[in-house]
Chains A and B, each alone.
Chain A
Amino acid sequence: MKGLAPLFLGIFGTFAFSWVGLTVIPNWQIGHLNPQSDEDGTDIYPMPQSGMVQWGARVYAANGCIYCHSEQVRAEYAGADIDRKWGDRRSAPRDYIFERPVLLGKMRMGQDLANIGARAPAEQESPSPGGGGNPAGSPSGAAQSPSPSAAQPKAQGAQSPGATAAPQQQPAASPATSPAASPTSPASKPAPIARAGTGIASPSPGVAAAAAGAASPGAPPLAGPPWPEQTAGLPPMYSAAWHHVHLYSPRSINFDSNMPSYRFLYQARRISDVHSSDALRLTGSDAPPEGWEIIPTYDAKCLVAYMMALNQSHPLKEVKSAGSASAVSPAASPSAAPGGQPPPK
């Protein structure tokens, strides 16, 4: 080649071609999406993240969670994501319009997290008996202990197996608070889970339910959906408390887990007179020594707030929900979907 000019033009041209084709044109196509809203304007999805959730996304990015976890659900024909109950439907561009940085992820050494907030227990909806917003004036019923009490350290933290037989009447201690207790995260859900104390002859779930329900004074006990199966000593799967324990010590929850522990996101603190409601409930060798408790730092709380907010279960018009596939069987629904659907694979 003799001339510099054609060489330069060619170098520029090939680059410009790919830049336009792969970044500019998609930007025209999907770069200015609005959230979906219904006619009333009340059901807007997605909503912008704010506050602790946004900071939590930064913590997630800075600690490299994307190198093991993805946040995208693939369609049914493409992978087993929906079969694994990682989502009701595949992810669509509209799900991510408010995310910065977008944390799609490319590796799955750990589960996909796109709907991890949706997999939180349904009880997340019930009132949190603990946390910062704890109404001080709640009358103390026999079955509740929302305010920290001296007996609580025995229910959490240090394990003395001999204490199992101790006649502790109080059931669950106050749960580790999720960031919902902090006022700045409107989108996150509370974690009101009353937990069975470790090593204590655990109160029946009914008592635990009563404890949670009784925390709102004057209300009758909740007769909600059945509580999840709890492994003794562990918070319910995917609740905020569970996330904290999982981050602190992944192998206490899943022995086969390869996830590194993130203890540097937590602090050990000497228990003063009140036991913090944020304290992690740890067992075995992870548990702090007597008189100490492990509490999450602000980063940890934000990270868990972010994860509790990860929820793509809201239906989108442009994407078929997995639930509608079951409507194809005529016996299930009288009104079959008009227009036909591609047969489920």
Chain B
Amino acid sequence: MNESTPTPEPHSGQGMDYSEIADVQDVHAAVQREKREPRVGREPLSIWLIAVYGLAVFFGGAYLGRYSGNFSGEALDPYGGEMPTMKKVTGPQGAQQAAELSPHDRGKKIFAANCQTCHQANGLGVAGQYPPLAGSEFTTGGSQRPAMIVMKGLQGPVTVKGQKFGAAVMQPWDKTLTDQKIADVLTYERSEWGNNASPVTAEQIAALRKELANHPNSFTEPDILAVPAEEDLPGGAPAGGAPPKPGEAAKPGEPPKPKG
């Protein structure tokens, strides 16, 4: 009954129902003709196979040793090359950049880190919430007004370029930013996005800081408007437009205005 007949016949009749195994004799044919369950032999390992193992371990190990960059978390380079240090010099501008960044560029970084969230990278602010700086009469007029705003903040309704703002409050920055930084960011704002107003120096801000030392936080619009629009901070750089961008010659400026 375990012989296999040639060429299986096509299925025809119904035959037994194998869904019940009540009858021990009705074990179906597939199980009957099966061979016994698998078992394992005991042949010994071949020496050639051990040689293959040795080769694999050797190559794998050599690979691991050679290309692991000392297993350091910082070695992204498998050849374990020298860790490159950040170079300030890149290309022809190397000499320039090895020196200080210009106030404009420093101010740009400060702006990006502190002001951009509200006033946006393009200086246009957000309608109804944050006033624009591009083309704003507060930013581009005399330097006194914007410096006061940056130093002590601003709250309450204010109209800029014909639009009303007032929902948001601007924080004071005198405690967070140094004089140099405030000067740089003002310089940047006053020369970016088409603005073309005089730069601001750290000394001017220092003087202003002394002046405002006892002033409570936050100006309001009337406070700012009380200052003449074209009033510059005393002691500033010659008025004469935006500071030179890197590479350009400095423009000759006007003689300083008399202190008014």
A–B direct touch, CB within 8 Å, in complex?
A: yes
A30 in contact with B73 (CB, 8 Å): yes
Q: Are B89 and A44 in contact (CB under 8 A)?
A: no
Minimum CB–CB distance for A306 against chain B, Å: 16
The residues of A that contact B130 with a CB separation of less than 8 Å are: 183
Q: B54 contacts the other chain (Cβ, under 8 Å)?
A: no
B91 touching A44, Cβ below 8 Å? no
Q: Is the CB of B194 within 8 A of A216?
A: yes
Most buried by B among A30, A40, A334: A40
Contact status A333-B84, CB under 8 Å: no
Residue of B nearest to A338 (CB): B85
- B125 and A133 within 8 A (CB): yes
Segment from A163-171, A230-238, A262-270, A321-329 that makes contact with B: A321-329
A161 contacts chain B at the CB level, 8 A cutoff: no
- Assess whether A283 is interfacial by the CB under 8 Å rule: no
Q: Does B61 contact A (CB under 8 A)?
A: no
Return chain B residues, CB-CB under 8 Å to A321: 87, 90
A335 lies within 8 A of B95 (CB)? yes
Label chain B's interface by main secondary structure. Answer: loop
Asked if A125 and B122 make an inter-chain contact with CB atoms under 8 angstroms apart, the answer reads: yes
Interface SS of chain A: helix, strand, loop or mixed?
Answer: loop
In the bound complex, residues from chain B placing their C-beta under 8 Å from that of A134 are 127
Question: Is the pair B87, A324 in contact by a Cβ cutoff of 8 Å?
Answer: yes
> Inter-chain contact count A-B, CB under 8 Å?
140
Contacts of A133 in B (CB 8 A): 120, 124-127, 132
| Pair B90/A183 contact, Cβ less than 8 Å | no
Contact of A333 among B92, B114, B118 (CB under 8 A): B92
CA distance A321 to B91 in the complex (A): 11
Chain A CB within 8 A of B199 CB: no
A219–B194 touching, CB < 8 Å: yes
Q: Nearest chain-A residue to B79 (Cβ)?
A: A77
Which of A53-61, A288-296, A312-320 forms part of the interface with chain B? Answer: A312-320
State how many residues of chain A have any CB contact under 8 Å with chain B. Answer: 58
- For residue A220, CB closer than 8 A to chain B, the reply is yes
Return the contact of B121 from the options A41, A92, A190, A336 (Cβ within 8 A). Answer: A190
A126: chain B residues at CB < 8 Å are 122, 193
Structural contact, A186 and B117, CB atoms closer than 8 A: yes
From 1 to 48 in chain A, residues with beta carbon under 8 angstroms from any chain B beta carbon are 26, 28-30, 40-44
* Docked pose: A291 CA to B56 CA in angstroms: 70
Minimal beta-carbon separation of A305 from chain B (angstroms): 13
Check: B134 CB closer than 8 A to any chain A CB: yes
Q: Is residue A342 contacting chain B, with contact meaning CB distance below 8 A?
A: yes
B246 on interface, CB distance cutoff 8 Å: no
Determine if B21 is an interface residue (Cβ-Cβ < 8 Å). Answer: no
Tell me the chain B residues, 47-83 only, with Cβ under 8 Å from chain A.
72-74, 76-77, 79, 81-83
Pairwise interchain contact B109-A216, C-beta atoms closer than 8 A: no
* Partner of A137 from B90, B114, B163 at Cβ < 8 Å: B163
Interface assignment of A218: CB less than 8 Å from any CB of chain B = yes
Contact partners of A135 in chain B: CB under 8 A = 124, 132, 161-163
Q: Whole-angstrom distance between the alpha carbons of A319 and B86 in the complex?
A: 8
Chain B residues lying within 8 Å of A180, measured Cβ to Cβ, are 120-122
Binary contact readout A113-136 vs B (1 if CB under 8 angstroms, 0 otherwise) = 000000000000111100011111
* Distance of A327 Cα from B87 Cα, bound (Å): 10
CA separation between A323 and B97, bound complex, in Å?
Answer: 13
On chain B, the residues within 8 Å of A317 by CB distance are 85-86
B76 contacts A327, C-beta separation under 8 Å: no
Q: Is there a chain B Cβ closer than 8 Å to A243's Cβ?
A: no
Residue of B nearest to A50 (CB): B117
User: What's the Cα separation between A125 and B74 when bound, in Å?
Assistant: 34
Question: Which residues of A168-206 have CB atoms within 8 Å of chain B's CB atoms?
Answer: 180, 183, 186, 189-190, 192
- Chain A positions within 8 Å of B77 at CB level: 75, 77
A42-B113, A127-B194, A339-B85 known; 13 new pairs, CB 8 Å cut-off, are A43-B113, A90-B76, A126-B193, A135-B161, A190-B124, A216-B193, A316-B86, A319-B84, A320-B84, A321-B87, A333-B91, A337-B89, A341-B82
Smallest CB-CB A-B distances: 10 pairs: A29-B73, A219-B194, A320-B84, A333-B94, A183-B126, A323-B90, A137-B162, A317-B86, A42-B113, A186-B117
